[in-house]
A and B are shown apart, each in its own frame.
Chain A
Amino acid sequence: MELSAIALHLDLHLAVRAFELLLGFSLALQCLEYLRIPALDRVNDWAILRLEIPARPAVVRALLDVLLTPRNHRVLIVLRLVLAIGLMSGGLGLAGAVLLFLIALVLLLRWRGAFNGGSDFMTLVGLTGLLIAHLVGAFAGMETGWRAGLWYIALQSLTSYFMSGWVKLLHPSWRSGRALPQFLDTGIYGPLAPCSVYRKPWLARAISWSFTVWEGLFPLALLDVRLAALFCAVASAFHFLVFRFFGLNRFFWAWMTTYPAILWCAGQSLT
C-alpha cells in the first residue's frame, strides 16, 4: 500500500466519529432553523396539513395533533437538538438513534413528506444508517453494525450522484449546456447578471458536461481511497456552489455527512 493511500485510509472508529460529528452538526443546524420557522411562516397551517393524513389508522392523526401543537412541536425540535448534540459527543446509543429516526418520521408527516426536498431525503439516509448500525450492533456487535450502516450510507450517496448525473446527460438541454444558465437564473440568489460568464454557450456546455460526467462516475470512488478523496473534495465544492446559487445550505451539510462512509468503504478495497 502506498504511503498516500495509507494516510487517507480511514479506520472504522475514525469514520464513525466523523460521521457522527457531521450528522449531529447537520441535524443541529436544521433544528435551529426549524425553531425559527413558525415565527416566519403564515402559510403551512397544521389545521390544513392534517387533512391529508390518512384517516386510518385514526391513532396516527390523533397522535400528530398532540405532537404538533406549537408548544409540543417546539419541544420535539429541542429534543432533536439535544440528541444531535449527544450524537456529536459520541454518547448516543440505540435509544437515541431510534428517537432521532422517529422524530424524522414525524417531521416528514408535518411537512408533506419533505420540508426541503433532497436534503431531507439524505438526512433520512444518515439517520437510517445510524439506526442500522445500532440495531445490527445490538445483535452482532457494534463493529459489524457500523460496517452495515456505513455501507448503506455510502451506497445511497453514490446512487444519488450517479442518478443525478446520468439523468441530466439524457436530456438534450443539459448536453447542449442550455439548461445551466436557465436553472441558475431561477436560483433564489439569482438571476444571473446579463454579462455572467455562465451565459457563454461554450462555457455552459463545458461545465454541464464536466459535472454531469463527474456525478455519473462517482461510484468509481469505491475503487480507490485516493479517488474517493478527490471525488468528495470536488463534491464539497460542488455543493457549496449549489448553495451559492440556490440557497440550499441543508444539501451541503446533508451530503457532507456521507463522505466519511464513502471514504471508509473505498478504503476497504485496500485491506
Chain B
Amino acid sequence: MNRFTLITLALIGVYFVWLALFGLRKHRHLVQGPWLFFFRAFFPNWKFYHAAGKAPRLYARAQATDGVWGAWQRVYARMPYRTHHVLHNPVVNLALNHQNLVDHLWSDVQDLPEGADIRERATYQLVTRLAHEAVRGGRWGQVPMLPAALPDARHFQFELRMDALLETEGLPASSELVLQSPVLPSWN
C-alpha cells in the first residue's frame, strides 16, 4: 500500500467518522424549499425502516344509494409474492407509491402552517383520489384496494390515522385519528 493510498483511505475514514458524529443526528427539515423537495434525491439521508412504532394509514368508507354508510376499511396493499416480480413489478411499485402519498399527506399535516388549509395541498387531493378509487372498487392489478368496495357509492369519506405497526389478528394495537375528510361526493 503506497502513501497516496493510505492518505486516500485516511480521508475516507475521516468522512465516515464525520458522518457518525453529525449525519446520524435527527435532522427534521434538513432539505427545505420547493425545489429542494423535488430534488431531495441529491441529498438522501439513507434512513430506511429506522423507526418502528407507528405509521400513517389511510381508511375509507362509502355511503350506499340507500344512505347507509359502510364500515371503515384500511387502504393498504397486500399482494401475492411472485419471484419474477424481481424483473417486472409495476403493480407493486404503484401500490408502494400510493402508500408514499399517504405518508406525505401525514407529513404535510404535521408541517401545515397556522391558518393554512390542508385541502389545498396536492397530497390531500391525490389521497382523496386514492380513497375514491378504493371505495369505487379500484384495484392494484388483480388485487382489490378494499375487501368490500361499493362501486355505486354516492358519497365517501376518508381518514388518515397513525396506526401502531404492532398488530393482533390484523388489527393495530393502537390507531390515532390524524385527519378526517368531510363527506365527499363520488364522481365518475
B126 touches A108 (CB 8 A): no
- Give the contacting residue for B23; candidates A158, A163, A252, A269; CB below 8 A: A163
Q: Give CA–CA (A109, B36) in the complex, Å.
A: 11
Is there a chain A Cβ closer than 8 Å to B67's Cβ? no
Main secondary structure of the interface of B (DSSP, over half): helix
Residue of B nearest to A47 (CB): B125
How far apart are B102's CB and chain A's nearest CB, in angstroms? 11
Q: Hey, which chain B residues are within 8 Å of A164, CB to CB?
A: 46-48, 50
Residue of B nearest to A168 (CB): B50
A183 touches B79 (CB 8 A): no
Q: Give CA–CA (A76, B117) in the complex, Å.
A: 35
Is there a chain A Cβ closer than 8 Å to B24's Cβ? yes
Q: Give CA–CA (A36, B140) in the complex, Å.
A: 12
- Give the contacting residue for B52; candidates A117, A161, A178; CB below 8 A: A178
A155 touches B12 (CB 8 A): yes
Q: Hey, which chain B residues are within 8 Å of A163, CB to CB?
A: 19, 23-24, 45-47
A166 touches B20 (CB 8 A): yes
B52 touches A29 (CB 8 A): no
A186 touches B55 (CB 8 A): yes
Contact A183:B42 (CB < 8 A) given known A111-B97, A188-B79, A222-B9: no
Is there a chain A Cβ closer than 8 Å to B64's Cβ? no
Give the number of A-B contacts (CB < 8 Å): 183
A240 touches B86 (CB 8 A): yes
Is there a chain A Cβ closer than 8 Å to B95's Cβ? yes
A106-128 toward B: CB 8 Å interface, digit per residue (1/0)? 00110111111110111010001
Is there a chain A Cβ closer than 8 Å to B96's Cβ? yes
The interface on chain B, measured as residues whose beta carbon lies within 8 A of the other chain's beta carbons, has a size of 65
Residues from 41 to 99 in B contacting A, C-beta threshold 8 Å: 41-42, 44-53, 55, 77-81, 85-98
* 30 A–B pairs (Cβ distance < 8 Å), ordered by A: A33-B90, A37-B90, A40-B94, A43-B133, A48-B129, A49-B122, A52-B122, A53-B34, A113-B37, A113-B40, A115-B97, A118-B48, A121-B44, A160-B46, A163-B45, A163-B47, A164-B48, A164-B50, A171-B50, A173-B53, A179-B49, A182-B166, A188-B77, A188-B92, A247-B79, A247-B89, A247-B92, A248-B96, A249-B92, A271-B5
Q: Which residues of B contact A (CB under 8 A)?
A: 1, 5, 8-9, 12, 15-16, 19-20, 23-24, 34-35, 37-42, 44-53, 55, 77-81, 85-98, 100-101, 104, 122, 125-126, 129-130, 133, 138, 140-141, 165-167, 170
Q: Which residues of A contact B (CB under 8 A)?
A: 29, 32-34, 36-37, 40-45, 48-49, 51-54, 105, 108-109, 111-118, 120-122, 124, 128, 155, 158-164, 166-168, 170-171, 173-174, 178-179, 182-183, 185-186, 188-191, 219, 222-223, 240, 243-244, 246-250, 252, 268-269, 271
